[in-house]
Amino acid sequence: MNHLSINIKGSLHHFHKPWVMGILNVTPDSFFAESRTIETDDIRRRIDDLISQGADIIDIGGYSSRPGAPEVSADEEYSRLARGLEAIRKYHPDTLISVDTFRADVARRCVSDWEADIINDISGGNLDAEMWPTVAELQVPYILMHMRGTPSSMQSLCDYNDVTADVIRDLAFKIDAMHQLGIADIIVDPGFGFAKDINQNYQLMAELDQFKQLNTPLLVGISRKSMIYRPLDITPQTAINGTTVLNTFALLHGANILRVHDVKEAVEAVKIIDLIKQNTP
């Protein structure tokens, strides 16, 4: 049995069963068009859908990290996030929320103004030197993702000796540094699609078991990404089947959280894999 856990506002949350994290993009330009919400009614409808389909947590982002996405100011990012956070707290006040931002000030405002539960930083602290001290002060769990460079430069930074070993080494170094700052609750994300080419993404997936050595909960976010739709010569809109295949593999190899656009399908995968594990002699 998996005994990993995180402390959220003084309450211990165990990963006896994997969580499904539903994506709420309060942006006009995320790579998967159907996930974009800007207007208040669309935001509320999306939140209702995620929760009714069984999301354990909602991950809200106001800054698209796709290559070529336009720059968004910190104030604009916070303004977008606040629209989503307000809707969640008003209509579903007990829902766990992670905020997808690499900016320390935005993270601070989301926690102090809206009681956001977790900070999800795609840069792993690389893009804002104040992020880790801020998380240490706020005492919220932190999702540490592996990325090199920035969203606009990352795909030119895919040179590794051994992608899995190099990513784990980088994450382990950062986990140690964060522990020294007093950050206890860390979730790791290998960063599929961020400074990795397609074959490197699949090597990471094939060797996902190796991330268990970090002794932290593991988040896998591959939903409708190019590592699925490019090899299959399809589009993000038609990549749900490939997403479910990879999510299923991830669940069998140690994933504790699936970050997805399609909650219903991920919840079904979690239930079926759980049945297999319960009935394994």
Catalytic residue of the set 89, 148, 225, 271: 225
Q: Cβ of 230: how many Cβ atoms within 10 Å? A: 12
Q: Which of 6, 212, 208, 209 shows the shortest CA–CA distance to 96?
A: 6
- Reply yes or no on whether 271 is catalytic: no
- Dist. CA 217–CA 206, nearest whole Å: 18
Per annotation, catalytic residue among 80, 148, 174, 259:
259
Q: How far apart are CA 247 and CA 259, in angstroms?
A: 9
Catalytic annotation on 259? yes
Identify the burial level of 68 via C-beta atoms within 10 angstroms of its C-beta, where 0-12 means exposed, 13-18 middle and 19 or more buried.
exposed
The b-or-e profile of 119-139 (16+ CB within 10 A means b, else e) is bbbbbbbbbbeebbebbbebe
**Which residues are annotated as catalytic?**
225, 259
